[in-house]
Every structure is written in structure tokens, then in C-alpha cells.
Chains A and B, each alone.
Chain A
Amino acid sequence: MSSDAKHKPRVDKPTIDKPRIGVFKFASCDGCQLSLLDAEDEMLAVAGAVEIAYFPEASSAMLKGPYDMGLVEGSVTTYHDAQRIQEVRRQCKTLITIGACATAGGIQALRNWKDVDEFIRVVYATPQFISTLKLSTPIAEHVPVDFELRGCPINKHQLLELITATLAGRKPNIPSYSVCIECKRKANVCIAVARGIPCLGPVTQAGCGALCPSYDRGCYGCYGPMESPNTTSMSSQFRILGQADSQIVRAFRGFNAWAWQFRKASEECER
């Protein structure tokens, strides 16, 4: 299938052979959708293998559902979106959420510990126009989700692997173990042990390729909790490395603050 396929008049070619994909945005920064566009070369192959039926970020042609695969970016923060995700779910055979907003509520979930009404009063000149929920929540709190792809932003190679595996009907190679495994496979020197830099790698899911530790920074936990995170032990170690409880709270309250294990960890440090 050539890359010209998508430019052909759609009436020419019945699309029943090609899986139809829809990409939907909720409360988010669009960075994860950009990861898909950023795939460039691979994107041509994807465009050849599937019909991108709905992707407002990339194309003004918006075709109606149903879709074989729906990629959902963003969290639910409004009444309107809480309704809309129900319809998206109904239209998608396979629903995949992409990124920390969709899988954990995102950075905007920091509101979940605060008084949202107060924010609205302080920020907006005419608060009565603002209609929002008190919580920013992941998609899986609203509808069943078939696969959650972690990351802030997601890794484009993982996204391609997920799409490829889903289309091929095989299990995606997307591990849920720690960042440390990726870091050690890269032969990095552990910055926590060799320099005393607080690093969330041991409790964070792999997927980024140990990006920050490879550049001498502690892991920020962008990929959310790994499969069996011992956050209590991690917090103790942060204290040994000189971190105050307020700093540990901030470490866990990043892009995946509302993921329950990180949420529990930060709340433990506030007690």
C-alpha cells in the first residue's frame, strides 16, 4: 500500500479492509498526539496500513464512527467530556488511552487536592462561565479501557509497537517493570547510588528509555507507577538522601500524581 493512499478520493476504495482509527482529545496539552505525528517516516507506513478516520489535530476530514481503534488523549475534567467519553467508547471497538492525562489524570489532577471553586474565582473575570469538575480523572474511571499507554509524553516507538501489535493481533512488547532495568541495560551508572541524586526510577514504569538518568537527572516518574512500586521504601530512601517530606510530596505529585500508588505515597508524606 503506497503512502498516496490517503490522498485518493475515498469513494474510490472501499475502506472495509483497512482498520479505521480515531484519535480523540480530552483535557491535555496535545503532546501525545504530536508523538504520533512526530513518528513521520513510520507514520507513512501507519497511514498505509490503516485509515485515519478521525484525527482533528492532523486532518480536517473527520469521518463518523464506528472506529476499529480509538486513541484517547487527555483526562476528564468537565461534565461535557464525561458524557463525550461514553460516546467515544461506544464508537470504538478497541479503546487505547495514551499519556499520563488519559491514564492518570495528568498534571491537571493537582487540582484534586485543592478547592477548584477558589481557583475559578481567582483566575476568571466571569467565573459563572466556567463549568468544570472538581476532579481531573483518567479515562478508565469512566469507561472500560483496553490498553493504557503510559508517559508524559508517550514514547512514539511504544505507540507504534502498540498499534502494530494490535493490528497484528499479538501482545504488545510494553513492559511494566521499572525504569532501572532500561537504565542498567543501557550501561548507565546509577545516579542515585553514585551521586546521591533522588530518582524515582525504581518505582516508575519503563518506556522512556531511562531518558532523564541518561542525562544526569533523577527520574520524574513520567511513566507512572511500575507494576509493584514500593513507594514507602522509596520515600524512606529519599529522606536518607536529604529530601524533606514536602519535597517527596512534590516528587510524587507530577504528571501521574493521581495514579493511586503515587497518590498514596504523597499523602503518606503529608501526614
Chain B
Amino acid sequence: MATLNRLATADDRAAQRGEHILAADQVGKLIELLVRRGYEVVGPTVRDGAIVYDHLESPDDLPRGWTDEQKPGHYRLHRRDDEALFGYVVGPQSWKKYTHPAEVRLWAAERQNGTFRILNNEEKGQHPRAFLGARACELAAIAVQDRVLLEDKYRDPVYDRRRGGAFIIAVQCTQAAETCFCASMGTGPQVSDEFDLALTELLDSKGHRFLLAAASDRGTEILSELKTVPATEEDRQQAAAKVDAAARQQVRSIDTTGIKELLYENFEHRRWDDVAGRCLTCANCTMVCPTCFCTSVEDVSDISGDHAERWRRWDSCFTQNFSYIHGGSVRTSAKARYRQWMTHKLASWIDQFGSSGCVGCGRCITWCPVGIDITEEVRAIREGGRNGDS
């Protein structure tokens, strides 16, 4: 990853750098320092009944005192009885909103004197962004997309430009939603992938504060300019206990033992028919998934034929056109499409990119309009025996 800043791993971090306590009223200062360094700070904010990621001006934009209730096909915001800034889990959007945008114009061209001239290539200079509030599962998802879009045979320049300069401020989860299953996927709730700064929110009789740790040179630089005090052993233990609690709260899990073989061997399983009866093939699961990366490329021309553009847009394996080859769509049934998505996510992804494509964030469960639960589908296939015959 040539253009990515060299970031230390969690182990390096633990070994080399101490942890600090940052008062909650200093979060504004953190945003200010990032802005002064030329970052656009983006992070969680309340909009339209959900916590979404958007431009942040100040801590006032953060979801102070809000939490999210999540169930299959169900999401609601509720008021907390405290002033926590990060007292929620994950919303409908992920950081791919910024690193892998939904729509990008790759280039435009104009006809001039019988030939075409390419204009306005996809913007070269990207405003570097600071992602404030990335969860462990989300960092794992970014790592997955890095493997797919940067470290595989082909490097995606659109992703590269947006991902490369991103400054990441991780926030440890101190609670889990009913739809979370990161613990079983080995991706959380403890942050372990690359980040610059990590925060753990603490709110008790000792006040509203954050355990703050740096894991990169630029993170350390920012930390040194913040007003902090060294963390005590008690602070550290308290923070660790909160993250542990977030793991213990998780009611969903996927048993990943031999999952690749399990799905490969159950290409025909009656559960696929069962889920196809519920699946709307609407593609919401793939749109909200922080690792789903598929796009389609469309060429458009205007009526004069003198101006043409090439656009790249999020696509989904749930559409018919996605598998359209000569003669028609390969996956015409909902059964074939759901099976393709889940088998790729959990099994063939491992062969293709060296890890699971699922990070256990639970978004596909919450934001499925009919609440299809991937953990339940895996369980049914495992418990149904070979091809669901038993």
C-alpha cells in the first residue's frame, strides 16, 4: 500500500505508546486540530431518524445523548439518559460512502474536429478526510476493501485516492446492538486494525472523558497537542471492561468453523428456497454492507452525440443485469442470487481475497426490509445437514 500511511498495528501501539485521558469537552479541540491540518472531519450525526455519517463542524454535530435500537428489519433512535457522544452502535452507512462512493464520473469526453477529447478526469486531488468514530468492525471492513481494491491484481484509483490520506479516529464499542456479531467473526468489538487515534468513551462519577491512544506518528502528533493526562490503571481497566461488555452483550453469532466447506457443500439446500421466499432481491443488504464493492459502469451520451460521460455506480449481485452475459442473466431466481451473495461473502471471498467478506456489523440484518438474518441462514444450513436432507 504505497500511498497509505504506514500505520502501526495494535500490538505496536500497546508496546510503544501510553494511553491518555481526554476530557469530553476537548473533542472540539480534536476536530479543530484535524481541520487545521487540512482534513475534512466526517463522522456520526443524527439525520432523518438515524445516525449517519456526514460533515462535522463541531462536537455539537455528534449524536450526543442518542442511542440506536436494532433488530432484523428494524432501527429506532432513542434518547439515552446520559450525554454520551458515541453511545450508539452502527448506522445504515459505512465509511465506504467516502472511500468507495455510490456514484463517480470516471471521465467525460467531447467531440472536437472529428476526434474525441477527454475532459475532467475523475478529480485527482481529493480533500483528505478524517473519519471520526470508526468502529472495530468498520476498520475490519476497510481492511477487507483494501485487500479487494488495493492489494489485489488491480488497483482501484478512485478508492486509492480517497482511502490513502484518510486519518482514522477509532471509537471502541462500549455496547452492542441486537444485530451485532463481530465477536464471532473475530473483528471486534476491540479495535485491532489500523488507525491513527482510538477513543474509549467513559462516563461515570469521575466525569465524561475518553481513554485516548495514538497508533501512528500523525496520531501521536495530534495527541501531543491535546490537553490530556496520563490514564491510570483504573481508567484502563474500566475501558477494557466496557469493551468486554460489548462483546458479552452480543446475542448473534456465526459459527465460522469450516464455513467455506459448509457452503460449498450445500449448494443445493432447501434453506435456499426458504430464504428466497422472503428475499425481495431489493439489494439493500449489499448497499449497506461495508465490504460489498460491486459497481457497474455506464456510458452516456447526449442527444447531439458530441458529449459523452462514463459513470461508475454501486451495483449489486441481487440485480438481474449484474449476471447478464450473452444469452441472458445467469442468476434469474432469488434463490440463486441470495446464495451467490452469502456464499461469496462467507466462503468464496476467503479463496478470492484471503479473508471472510463479513465483519459482523449486522447492517444487512437491520436494513433488510423483511429482516433476513444472515446468522440465522448460516445456522439453518449448518443444522439442516447436507443439502438440508436430515
Partner of B303, one of A46, A189, A237, A240: A46
Q: Is the beta-carbon distance between A168 and B277 smaller than 8 angstroms?
A: no
Cα–Cα, bound, A146→B38 (Å): 53
**Residues 180-235 of A contacting B (Cβ, < 8 Å):** 180-181, 184-196, 199, 201-203, 216, 226-230, 232-234
Closest to B70 in A: A193
Given contacts A193-B74, A202-B284, A230-B280, contact A170 B314 (CB under 8 A): no
Cα–Cα, bound, A233→B279 (Å): 7
User: How many whole Å from A155's CB to the nearest CB in chain B?
Assistant: 14
**Residues 146-178 of A contacting B (Cβ, < 8 Å):** 160-161, 163-165, 167-168, 170, 173, 175-178
User: How many whole Å from B174's CB to the nearest CB in chain A?
Assistant: 23
Q: Is the beta-carbon distance between B369 and A184 smaller than 8 angstroms?
A: no
Cα–Cα, bound, A175→B288 (Å): 20
Given contacts A190-B367, A193-B366, contact A185 B103 (CB under 8 A): yes
Residues of A within 8 A of B321 (CB): 175-177
Cα–Cα, bound, A186→B332 (Å): 27
B319 within 8 A of A: yes
**Residues 247-299 of B contacting A (Cβ, < 8 Å):** 277-284, 287-288, 298-299
Q: Is the beta-carbon distance between B48 and A194 smaller than 8 angstroms?
A: yes
Cα–Cα, bound, A186→B97 (Å): 10
A269 within 8 A of B: no
User: How many whole Å from B179's CB to the nearest CB in chain A?
Assistant: 11
Given contacts A175-B319, A184-B102, contact A190 B305 (CB under 8 A): no
Residues of B within 8 A of A232 (CB): 277
B233 within 8 A of A: no
B348 within 8 A of A: no
Residues of B within 8 A of A184 (CB): 102, 283-284, 287-288, 314
Residues of B within 8 A of A164 (CB): 301-303
Q: Is the beta-carbon distance between A233 and B73 smaller than 8 angstroms?
A: no
Closest to A232 in B: B277
Q: Is the beta-carbon distance between B303 and A177 smaller than 8 angstroms?
A: no
Q: Is the beta-carbon distance between B314 and A178 smaller than 8 angstroms?
A: no
B14 within 8 A of A: no
Q: Mark B76-109, 1 if CB is under 8 A from A, else 0.
A: 1100000000000000110001000011000000
User: How many whole Å from A238's CB to the nearest CB in chain B?
Assistant: 10
Cα–Cα, bound, A42→B109 (Å): 19
Given contacts A181-B283, A194-B48, A233-B278, contact A163 B303 (CB under 8 A): yes
For the side of the interface on A, what is the size category?
35 or more
User: How many whole Å from A83's CB to the nearest CB in chain B?
Assistant: 34
A236 within 8 A of B: yes
Q: Is the beta-carbon distance between B370 and A233 smaller than 8 angstroms?
A: yes
Q: Is the beta-carbon distance between A230 and B367 smaller than 8 angstroms?
A: no
Residues of A within 8 A of B93 (CB): 187
User: How many whole Å from A44's CB to the nearest CB in chain B?
Assistant: 10
Q: Mark A234-271, 1 if CB is under 8 A from B, else 0.
A: 10110010000000000000000000000000000000
A145 within 8 A of B: no
Partner of B369, one of A161, A165, A202, A226: A202
Residues of B within 8 A of A202 (CB): 280, 282, 284, 369
Given contacts A193-B366, A201-B282, A228-B320, contact A185 B102 (CB under 8 A): yes
**Residues 310-368 of B contacting A (Cβ, < 8 Å):** 313-314, 316, 318-321, 332, 334, 366-367
Residues of A within 8 A of B27 (CB): none
B304 within 8 A of A: yes
Residues of B within 8 A of A58 (CB): none
Partner of B283, one of A48, A177, A240: A177
Q: Is the beta-carbon distance between B102 and A49 smaller than 8 angstroms?
A: no
Residues of B within 8 A of A178 (CB): 280-283
Q: Is the beta-carbon distance between B320 and A193 smaller than 8 angstroms?
A: no
B37 within 8 A of A: no
A29 within 8 A of B: no
Given contacts A176-B320, A178-B280, A227-B320, contact A236 B370 (CB under 8 A): yes
A45 within 8 A of B: yes
B52 within 8 A of A: yes
Closest to A47 in B: B303
Residues of A within 8 A of B316 (CB): 177, 181
Given contacts A170-B301, A194-B76, A236-B370, contact A230 B279 (CB under 8 A): yes
Q: Is the beta-carbon distance between B298 and A190 smaller than 8 angstroms?
A: no
Residues of A within 8 A of B47 (CB): 189
Cα–Cα, bound, A45→B302 (Å): 9
Given contacts A173-B300, A178-B281, contact A185 B48 (CB under 8 A): no
Q: Is the beta-carbon distance between A193 and B367 smaller than 8 angstroms?
A: yes
Show 7 A/B contacts (Cβ-Cβ < 8 Å), sorted by A. A160-B303, A176-B319, A176-B321, A177-B320, A193-B367, A226-B282, A228-B281
Measured CB to CB, the residues of B under 8 A from A are 47-50, 52, 73-77, 92-93, 97, 102-103, 277-284, 287-288, 298-305, 313-314, 316, 318-321, 332, 334, 366-367, 369-370
List 6 tightest A-B contacts by C-beta distance, closest first.
A184-B287, A202-B282, A185-B102, A202-B280, A189-B48, A189-B50
- Contacts A194-B92, A202-B282 given; 17 further ones with Cβ under 8 A? A164-B302, A170-B301, A173-B300, A175-B321, A178-B282, A185-B314, A186-B102, A193-B74, A194-B48, A196-B74, A227-B319, A229-B280, A230-B277, A232-B277, A234-B280, A234-B370, A240-B73
